[in-house]
């Protein structure tokens, strides 16, 4: 009997063993998982926002919607540019303050900052953070812990907010900070 060659000859189609097949399928699975891990969850892109008054880096495709909100007891036309990653939301909202008195502008700014706390069932601090300051709130929505990072500004005739929020276990703080801190007001 002749010894078997280490590799099959072209004419002898030897079938791989079940062990070899399982090993090949396992390697293919590892390769597929590795390729999936390479696809970015956060696909950052910079966009003009707030009618061109600012620029921000969003982690995914942005959708824009406008609606009236109630703020400080009155309606306010509000436009929101927002992106979602998993269950986290990254948004820049703005509203026109054109024609409003300085006192009314200040009242709306404070009301918007207060709403960031109240929407998460957290009592706002007596001394609200000033416009432009980092705001971090840990609260709840729908019975689940939520993290929110934000900043609120008044620029000219615009009230602008940048907010990253989501379930505490689905919103990485580093990405939330990257988003909120990316917003740059134009001169």
23: left (phi over 0), alpha (psi -120 to 50) or beta: alpha
Tell me which residue of 83, 47, 87 sits closest to 65, measured CA to CA: 83
Look at residue 41 in the predicted model and tell me its pLDDT: 84
Domains of the chain: total: 1
Q: Longest C-alpha distance within the chain, in Å?
A: 103
Domain contains 10: no
Taking the model in full, what pTM does it have? 0.77
Domain contains 1: no
Domain contains 5: no
Domain contains 78: yes
User: For 186, what's the count of Cα atoms within 13 Å in the CB-facing half-sphere?
Assistant: 11
Look at residue 167 in the predicted model and tell me its pLDDT: 96
Element (H, E) at 86: none
Tell me which residue of 155, 167, 107, 109 sits closest to 135, measured CA to CA: 109
Domain contains 19: no
Domain contains 21: no
CA distance 145 to 166: 9
Q: 62 lies in which domain range?
A: 45-185
CA distance 168 to 146: 5
Domain contains 125: yes
CA distance 59 to 171: 12
Q: Check which CATH number belongs to the domain holding 109 and give it.
A: 3.40.1000
Kindly give the confidence (pLDDT) of every residue in the chain, 187 residues in length, as a single tens digit, with 9 standing for 90 and above: 555 545 444 554 555 544 444 344 444 443 333 333 444 589 999 999 999 999 999 999 999 999 999 999 999 999 999 999 999 999 999 999 999 999 999 999 999 999 999 999 999 999 999 999 999 999 999 899 999 999 999 999 999 999 999 999 999 999 999 999 999 999 8
Look at residue 1 in the predicted model and tell me its pLDDT: 55
Domain contains 134: yes
Look at residue 134 in the predicted model and tell me its pLDDT: 96
Instruction: List C-alpha distances in Å: 137 to 2, 124, 168.
Output: 77, 9, 11
CA distance 163 to 34: 32
């Amino acid at each position: 009997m002749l010894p078997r060659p280490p590799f099959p000859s072209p004419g002898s189609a030897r079938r791989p063993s079940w062990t070899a097949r399982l090993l090949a399928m396992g390697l293919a699975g590892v390769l597929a998982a590795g390729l999936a891990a390479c696809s970015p969850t956060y696909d950052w892109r910079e966009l003009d926002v707030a009618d061109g008054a600012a620029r921000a880096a969003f982690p995914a495709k942005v959708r824009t919607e406008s609606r009236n909100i109630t703020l400080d007891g009155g309606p306010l036309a509000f436009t929101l540019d927002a992106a979602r990653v998993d269950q986290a939301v990254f948004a820049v909202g703005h509203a026109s303050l054109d024609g409003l008195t300085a006192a009314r502008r200040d009242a709306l700014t404070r009301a918007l900052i207060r709403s960031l706390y109240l929407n998460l069932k957290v009592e706002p601090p007596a001394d609200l953070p000033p416009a432009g300051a980092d705001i971090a709130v840990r609260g709840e929505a729908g019975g689940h812990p939520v993290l929110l990072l934000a900043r609120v500004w008044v620029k000219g005739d615009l009230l602008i907010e940048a907010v990253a929020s989501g379930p505490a276990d689905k919103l990485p703080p580093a990405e939330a900070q990257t988003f909120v801190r990316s917003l740059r007001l134009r001169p």
